Amino acid sequence: MADASSSLPLLSSLLIPLFLLFASLSWRWTKSVRKNLPPSPPSFPIIGHLHLLAKLPPHRALAAIAAAPGPVVSASDPARPVSSAPAAEECFTAHDVAFANRPNLLVPQTLGFVCTTMGWTPHGPLWRDLRRIYAVHLLSSAALRSSSDSRTRAVRSLAKALFREPGVSEPDGPRRVEMKSRLFKLAYDVMMGLVATALEESAEERQRFREIVEETSAVSGAVNVADFFPALRRLGWRGTERKLARLVQKRHHRRTDRASSLPPASEWQQRRGGGDRERR
């Protein structure tokens, strides 16, 4: 037992230099292979440039990274700062297909049905099919004409509510009116008019949907360290997976409740057909 404990310092003194030598050689080899990459700020072998993102908000940290090397920066994290107009134009013209893909992050994998929704699916056949469905059934001239009545009603309802709202009077100016919830209701009513004109929802259901949207936006816009180090996903880093699981359950329950309240197919077709005949 004493011999084993006495050999530990010797073993550590041998393994630590070997590990540092291996990390240094691998870093130099990687740097020598990538000769065509843009300039890069100094980085560490394991964490890369993540230490540069720790002290500032992400947008300010990326701006500080891009300020020194040049308009295009090569970094070891998923972000590639492009800070000049010609370089950004080239990204969207000459290399638009390469930049059209989305990164494989935790939020799209969980909330985007394994990256199969329009906003998160990679560029490919599925993305083209979804884009065609949106263009034909939601954003075409015929679809927009068919939903013009519901959009007009939503805007008129907002205007009437603004006139009826007393608001908060200023001493020497116009009155102030809270617009955030009203604009959300307007967007919600327009969206529901596009995809489900035969279903009316209560204010409680609308508020429930708003909470889900706000929670989804907060989770999607947050910086998740597990996206940089996928091994941390198994450890439940900062409880992000638990938050996403609860959000998935909320969205699933709402879809189930909404599907159960839809009218029968025959009544749906009768309503849509009657509306089309009236518009003709």
Mean pLDDT score of the chain: 75
C-alpha–C-alpha distance, residues 148 and 73, integer Å: 46
* H-only helix segments in the chain: 2-33, 58-67, 85-93, 96-99, 106-111, 125-137, 141-146, 148-164, 180-195, 203-221, 225-228, 240-260, 265-279
Instruction: Please write the tens of the pLDDT for every residue from 148-177.
Output: 888 898 899 889 888 887 765 566 667 778
Dump pLDDT digits (tens) for 95-141.
Answer: 888 777 777 788 888 888 888 888 888 888 998 999 999 898 888 89
C-alpha closest to that of 247 among 196, 200, 208: 208
Residue with tokens 């200023």: 170
Q: Is the pLDDT of residue 191 over 70?
A: yes
Q: Which residues pair with 170 in a beta bridge?
A: 173
Predicted confidence (pLDDT) at residue 235 exceeds the cutoff of 90: no
pLDDT for residue 170: 61
More reliable by pLDDT, 280 or 52: 52
To the nearest 10°, report the CA torsion of 129, 132, 138, 140: -170
pLDDT on residue 275? 47
pLDDT at 269: 53
Predicted local distance difference test score (pLDDT) of residue 130: 92
**pLDDT given at position 155:** 92
pLDDT band, very low/low/confident/very high, at 268 (cuts 50, 70, 90): very low
**Residue 270 pLDDT exceeds 60:** no
- Arithmetic mean of pLDDT, 275-279: 45
Using pLDDT thresholds of 50, 70 and 90, give the confidence band for residue 277: very low
Q: What does 47-106 look like in DSSP terms, one character per residue?
A: TBTGGGGSSS-HHHHHHHHHHTT-SB---SSS---B-SHHHHHHHHHTTHHHHT-----H
Q: Tell me how far apart the alpha carbons of residues 196 and 110 are, in angstroms, rounded to a whole number.
A: 25
pLDDT confidence tier of residue 79, bands split at 50, 70 and 90: low
